[in-house]
Amino acid sequence: MTTSPTGSTHAERWSAHGARGSLKNALPAWKMWNGRGDLGFSPPDLVVRVKATACELPHSLGLPLSRWSVSEVADYVRRCGLVATVSDSTVWRWLNEDAIRPWQHRCWIFPRDPDFAAKAGRILDLYQSIWKGRRLKEDEFVISADEKTSIQARARIHPTLPAQPARAMKVEHEYRRMGAWAYLAALDVHRARIFGRCETTTGIAPFDRLVHQVMSQPPYSQARRVFWIVDNGSSHRGQRAAQRLQSRYPRLVVVHGPIHASWLNQIEIYFSIVQRKALTPNDFVSLDELASRLDQFERHYESIAQPFEWCFTRRDLTKLLQRLPAPTVRRKAA
């Protein structure tokens, strides 16, 4: 790798520590270079500038791209004169040092709830067995609940073939739709107990049946308090839902999460496990078979599971919110 003529200094060389000196003084450091970047000598400021380029959106630099590839980063830094020659593998090693992967992306929702910190903080405290600064008693429980909508039963046109030596499981692409369930579930976050039920649709009545399923049996029926963590879905939204449930179960305390913050609800972790382990591939000849699979998986899960090790605390939330930029509204050009 060599720097471009416009940025090179023939009379000076970079030392291993980033300081400039004569070629005579720099040569020993060059030979002893043990950096994780290029196998040859790489000026530290050059490595930093290449990494900074990779952390820019390509279209902000005038390129008609949505995201970078390694070769595109390398090509850009060569064309803009930052460096004369550099290999793609060298650029990859530099980016890999800081786990910079601009070719990847993920979707997210910016926290827009004005009370995000307060609402999220209450949930994080409950995961630590704390409510309003006091530790929960032994007869106080925390339930995380939600719905997984429209789980289809797909009967494959040809039977699924199990794995064989040197051959993966084979699942027929074509299928018949045999109907769909709405799966409602509640998780006791500190005891890894699961309560689930299949309903034809979501709504207030199906959710109330789930609540009754939990609250009608011990130890929840005799508990001092049972905290229900829910999102803002129509089945349990707002103060009216809280009043409706508390009028039937005086020991129940509804705790709503912030808007668009499903990642705070531990039941979503369980739903992802169900999707991976029980529903993929989707191959059920009837709705009854699908419901039976979900019920059996609940019992299987309880026999092997431990409570999730939730490590994200109020302190982590504060740090996260401090790092986020101020929200902006993007408007269409006139």
Three-class SS state of 287: helix
At 327, is the pLDDT very low, low, confident or very high (cuts 50, 70, 90)? low
233 Cα distance to chain centroid = 20
- Measuring CA to CA, which residue among 86, 93, 223, 197 is closest to residue 145? 197
Contact 246, 254 (CB under 8 A): yes
The rounded distance, in Å, linking the Cα atoms of 270 and 186 is: 9
At 323, is the pLDDT very low, low, confident or very high (cuts 50, 70, 90)? confident
116-320 CATH pick, 2.60.40.10, 3.40.50.300, 3.40.640.10, 3.30.420.10: 3.30.420.10
Average of pLDDT values for 191-206? 96
Domain ranges of the chain: 5-97, 116-320
pLDDT at 324: 81
At 5, is the pLDDT very low, low, confident or very high (cuts 50, 70, 90)? very low
pLDDT at 41: 54
At 33, is the pLDDT very low, low, confident or very high (cuts 50, 70, 90)? very low
- Measuring CA to CA, which residue among 204, 65, 170, 191 is closest to residue 127? 191
**Residue burial 293-321, b: 16+ Cβ < 10 Å; e: rest:** bbeebbeebeeeeeeeeeeeebeebeeee
The sign of the dihedral angle between the CA atoms of 202, 203, 209, 212 is: positive
pLDDT over 60 (residue 285): yes
Contact 271, 148 (CB under 8 A): yes
Q: What is the pTM of this model?
A: 0.76
User: In Å, how far are 97, 172, 185 from 114, measured between CA atoms?
Assistant: 37, 48, 29
